[in-house]
Amino acid sequence: MKERHWHEQCAIAEKIGKAGSFQKYAETLPDILNAVISKQEVCCIDEGTPDGIRFAGSGIYYVITQGTEKGKKGKEAIYAGLEAAAEAVKGSPAEFITSHDECGAAGLVFNEMPDSIKKEFGTSDNLGIYFAKELSKKTGLGYRHIGIKEMARPSGMHTAMFAYYDGTGKFNPDAVPGLPQGFVVSRKYLGKEEALREIELAPKIATGEHGYGGLIKPDKKFWLIAVAEDPWALESLVSELKPVSDSYKGKVKVEGFLVKA
């Protein structure tokens, strides 16, 4: 299973390499102008979730960045995360909040929780569902859960070798045949600080035990693609990503994609 996905991803990376750049490759795809989201839903950055506005775990990662890392514990950290996620959601055109099966971001948050909360929720997915439901109440938006069968990746593993750092807030690679599947972070609706923390999760997962691990090497890189609608914004997003790729010592590369209307 893993091997088939790996070969598919390597084949597409090779095609992009041959085209000269991600930009040149994308421009050869006949449906490239259709790379836009069809649902105003907040969903996870996970490459398997359907298109939408993308925050890690639909905002649950804020429990770490605005909660536990600021010295808050348990429920207090969860409430701080909800507060920050609600602000981000309110700044977007979202109409729905989703949660999904096997959410890695919910898993990271669950691991930071005291035993009492682990006991109360039982699994990280239950915590993710609770968070998304609370966020929907707080923002007055609808809620739905996305099961593993609805997801475009196998259970238990991440298959993407690409991640999109989306400054447009509406980029959807799944809508275009030929574009590589990837994690997506809606940089447009997250501050720079939060968006960077979330995009960092993508190469971390891909090079870890739930991804391709040691198969990602300097000659088989993980790709971070900045997406923007004007050249200045693109330049700035690419430079935001550089420190992330630098920390992977040649195993992660950064490119830009300028969306042309």
State yes or no: residue 41 binds Zn ion (CB under 5 A). no
Stretch that binds Zn ion, among 50-58, 86-94, 200-208, 211-219 (CB under 5 A): 50-58
Question: Under 8 Å CB-to-CB from 105, ≥6 apart: which residues?
Answer: 44, 45, 46, 56, 57, 60, 61, 128, 201
DSSP string, 103-127: -HHHHHHHHTS-HHHHHHH-SHHHH
Number of residues in contact with Zn ion under rule CB under 5 A: 5
Choosing from 13, 26, 43, 44, the residue that interacts with Zn ion (CB under 5 A) is 44
Q: Could you tell me the smallest distance in angstroms from the CB atom of residue 43 to Zn ion?
A: 8
Q: Distance of CA 137 to CAs 95, 131, 177, 198, Å?
A: 12, 10, 36, 24
State yes or no: residue 101 binds Zn ion (CB under 5 A). no
Stretch that binds Zn ion, among 45-53, 90-98, 222-230, 251-259 (CB under 5 A): 45-53
Of the pair 59, 256, the CB lying nearest Zn ion is at 59
Stretch that binds Zn ion, among 11-19, 98-106, 143-151, 237-245 (CB under 5 A): 98-106
The SS3 of residue 165 is strand
Binding mask 201-240 for Zn ion (x = CB under 5 A): ----------------------------------------
Question: Under 8 Å CB-to-CB from 226, ≥6 apart: which residues?
Answer: 164, 165, 167, 234, 237, 238, 240, 241, 254, 255, 256, 257
Q: Site residues for Zn ion, window 105-124 (CB under 5 A)?
A: 105
Q: Distance of CA 49 to CAs 28, 90, 143, 162, 223, Å?
A: 26, 21, 15, 15, 19
- CB half-sphere exposure, 190, CA atoms < 13 A: 30
Of the pair 105, 202, the CB lying nearest Zn ion is at 105
State yes or no: residue 103 binds Zn ion (CB under 5 A). yes
Q: How are beta strands 142-146 and 162-166 bridged, if at all?
A: unpaired
Q: Could you tell me the smallest distance in angstroms from the CB atom of residue 103 to Zn ion?
A: 3
Q: Could you tell me the smallest distance in angstroms from the CB atom of residue 222 to Zn ion?
A: 18
Q: Could you tell me the smallest distance in angstroms from the CB atom of residue 19 to Zn ion?
A: 31
Which single residue is written with the structure tokens 């490459």? 47
Residue type, 188: K
Choosing from 13, 16, 43, 46, the residue that interacts with Zn ion (CB under 5 A) is 46
Q: Site residues for Zn ion, window 56-75 (CB under 5 A)?
A: 57
Of the pair 103, 161, the CB lying nearest Zn ion is at 103
Contacts with Zn ion by CB under 5 A lie at 44, 46, 57, 103, 105
